[in-house]
Amino acid sequence: MIKLLQNIYGNVKAKVKTTDGLSETFTCNSGVRQGCTLSPWLFAMYINELATEIENSGGNGIFIHENFHNVMLLLFADDLALIADTPIDLQRRLNNLEKYCEKWNMTINMDKSNIVVFKNGGKLSKNEKWYFNNEPLKVVSYYKYLGIYFSNRLKWTYCCKTLRMQCEKALNMIKHCMCKLGTRDINLGFKLFDSMVAPILYYGAELWGTEKVKDIETVQNKFCKWLLEWAKRLIIT
State the pTM of this model. Answer: 0.76
CB 73 within 8 A of CB 80: yes
pLDDT in tens, 199-229: 998 888 888 777 777 877 888 888 888 888 7
CB 94 within 8 A of CB 131: yes
Cβ neighbours around 160 below 10 Å, total: 21
pLDDT of res. 140? 93
pLDDT of res. 124? 84
pLDDT of res. 232? 53
> Average pLDDT for consecutive 10-residue bins of the chain (237 residues)?
78 84 85 80 83 82 76 87 91 92 88 91 85 93 91 89 90 92 90 93 83 80 84 48
pLDDT of res. 130? 94
Can you tell me whether residue 188 is helix, strand or coil? helix
Q: Which residues contact 28 (CB under 8 A, 6 or more apart)?
A: 12, 13, 14
Alpha helix segments (H runs only) across 56-156: 87-103
